[in-house]
Amino acid sequence: MNRRRFWQNGRVNTDAVTLRLADVSDADTIAQMSRDLIESGLGWRYRTDRVRRMITRRDTSALVACDRHGTVGFAVMQFDDEHAHLMLLAVRPSHQRQGVARQMMQWQLHSARVAGMVSVHLELRASNRAALHFYRALGFAQTLVLAGYYEQRESAIRMMCLLRAPDEQAPPDDWLTSLRRR
C-alpha cells in the first residue's frame, strides 16, 4: 500500500488512514476534538470522563480514524434494542472531504445492520449544511427540527436512516455469533 502523504489545495491527503475501535486511551483526544469540532460555541459536555464511560459501555461502538500522526476522526454510536443513535462524529479539518467520515459511517451503519437495528438516529446543528448534505447522501432523512436544542442557542435537525422494516426479521443470533468470532 502506498503510504505517501502530500498537500493539495491546503489540505492533507493521505491513503494511510486506518479505522479501529477506540479504547480508553483515546478518550482525551476524542473529548478535545469534540470540544473543538462539535461543541464549539456551546458548553463542553463530552469531557474525557464521559467519553471514557461511553467507550467502555457494551452498547456503544466507538471508532477512531488514525493516520501515522495520530487521530484524525472519530464516530461514537450507542445501540438499544432496535435503534442506534450516532452520538458524535468529527473529522479534523485537514482530513475533511477525503472520505474519512464516510468510511467511519459505513463501518457504523454496517455494525448497526449486523446488530439487527431497525434504524439509526442523529442530531446535527441546523446551521451545519455540509453535515446535512453528507447524511442525506448516506440515506438519512430529516424527521424533525428541534428549536433551541443546543443550550437554547441553536436548533437541531434530527435525522433517521431506516436499515430494515420494523417487522422484518433481524439476522439470526448464530449469524451474529459467527461474526463476533472473526
**Among all residues, which ones are annotated catalytic?**
123, 135
**What does the pLDDT look like over 83-104, one tens digit per residue?**
999 999 999 999 999 899 999 9
Across the chain, mean pLDDT equals 85
Torsion of CA 109, 36, 29, 160, to 10 degrees: -10
Residues 38-84 have pLDDT tens digits of 888 787 889 999 999 999 999 999 999 999 999 999 999 999 989 99
CATH superfamily of 5-181: Gcn5-related N-acetyltransferase (GNAT) (3.40.630.30)
Domain spans in the chain, listed from the N-terminal domain onward: 5-181
